[in-house]
Amino acid sequence: MYIQEISIEIKTTANKNVLVDEFQLLMSFYRGSGQTQGKIESQYIAENKIVSLPYTLEKNSLARKYNNFYVNNQIQKLEELCKSTLQFRTVGKYSNSYKTPCTCKKSDFFILTTNYVSIDSPLTCGTCNKSVPLYRLPVYYDYGYMPILSWETNYISCDSLQMNCEVGERWALNQMQDLKSPLSKQGFKICKKIGELTSIPTYYFLYNYTKFKGDNLSRSCPGCNKKWGLKKRLHDRYDFKCDRCKIVSEISNKT
Ligand SMILES: [Zn+2]
Ligand SMILES: [Zn+2]
């Protein structure tokens, strides 16, 4: 994970508030194209310069080849308004706890998963267990990946509620661990489409905390009712995997 600096010098008398708004729009387009992570970048204006410090999975995530139609259009608009050129600089590496992204030539499968503190990609490689930058996928929708990021935001919101405990904890948990919840349905739809676009089976991670008392590997899959316990724990996280329903899960740590 890297921290990048994107900046532009203002060489016109255009209203700075308008320019800041246009810059923010560019940052949201970078997120939609899968090039920046987490929607948590700092942004500031210093004298005649607008600066933003987004997180990216790779050093070259902001390379022009990954730009989509909206990013390119907005860069052009901003450069015309400011009468200067957008500048890029890699500031440094973020926390070492973030692994480098997947470099597999072809992943055996993908897993859609995130959590309340993650700024990784919501797509993980099932082969190496590393993050898959969304810009490596074929275009998902409207030049980018917004429906995947919308699920990610919803999931993180539910996970935050259940971590904070006081408001909507039970409701949020059900969203995360019920196969038929709106959150799971949204996730399954994404898995199915990524599977179709890439020809790589894409699994949904089903959260499991308190739902199954006395949880054990012989418990059957909540989708097809068949055996899905793994003989060997996968990536030190997954205890269950159903290849029919395309779900992975873990043994409840409450039992
Ligand atoms: Zn991989
Ligand atoms: Zn199943």
> Distance from the CA of 150 to the center of ligand 1, in angstroms?
23
The predicted pLDDT at position 98 comes to 77
Strands 238-242 and 87-93: unpaired
> Distance from the CA of 225 to the center of ligand 1, in angstroms?
30
The predicted pLDDT at position 254 comes to 55
Which ligand number lies closest to the CA of residue 219?
2
Residues 237 and 118 in one domain: yes
> Distance from the CA of 242 to the center of ligand 1, in angstroms?
20
Residues 121 and 177 in one domain: yes
Which ligand number lies closest to the CA of residue 225?
2
Contacts of residue 107, defined as CB under 8 A and 6 or more positions apart, other chains included, come to 125, 126, 127, 128, 132, 200
Distance (Å, rounded) from C-alpha 96 to C-alpha 129?
16
> Distance from the CA of 13 to the center of ligand 1, in angstroms?
48
Any domain includes 245: yes
The C-alpha torsion from 61 through 85 and 139 to 182, rounded to 10°, is 80
Which ligand number lies closest to the CA of residue 228?
2
Domain end residue (candidates: 64, 93, 122): 93
Distance (Å, rounded) from C-alpha 36 to C-alpha 245?
31
The predicted pLDDT at position 209 comes to 84
Which ligand number lies closest to the CA of residue 222?
2
Task: Domain of residue 32: give its range.
Answer: 2-93
> Distance from the CA of 113 to the center of ligand 2, in angstroms?
18
Beta-bridge mates of residue 49: 9, 46
Any domain includes 22: yes
Q: What total number of domains does the chain contain?
A: 2
Which ligand number lies closest to the CA of residue 129?
1
Any domain includes 104: no
The predicted pLDDT at position 138 comes to 97
Residues 144 and 86 in one domain: no
> Distance from the CA of 243 to the center of ligand 2, in angstroms?
7
> Distance from the CA of 168 to the center of ligand 1, in angstroms?
35
Specify the residue for token string 């992975």: 248
Which ligand number lies closest to the CA of residue 125?
1
Domain end residue (candidates: 93, 127, 153): 93
List, as ranges, residues with CB under 5 A of the ion ligand 1: 102, 104, 107, 125, 127-128
Residues 127 and 71 in one domain: no
> Distance from the CA of 118 to the center of ligand 1, in angstroms?
18
> Distance from the CA of 157 to the center of ligand 2, in angstroms?
27
Residues 88 and 140 in one domain: no
What is the residue-level pLDDT of the chain in tens, covering all 255 positions?
Answer: 999 999 999 999 999 999 999 999 999 999 999 999 988 888 899 889 999 999 999 999 999 999 999 999 999 999 999 999 999 999 999 877 778 999 999 999 999 999 999 999 999 999 999 999 999 999 999 999 999 999 999 999 999 999 999 999 999 999 999 999 999 999 999 999 999 999 999 999 999 986 667 788 999 999 999 999 999 999 999 999 999 999 999 998 754
Which ligand number lies closest to the CA of residue 235?
1
Residues 86 and 135 in one domain: no
The C-alpha torsion from 56 through 137 and 183 to 31, rounded to 10°, is 30
For residues 176 and 163, is the Cβ–Cβ distance under 8 A? no
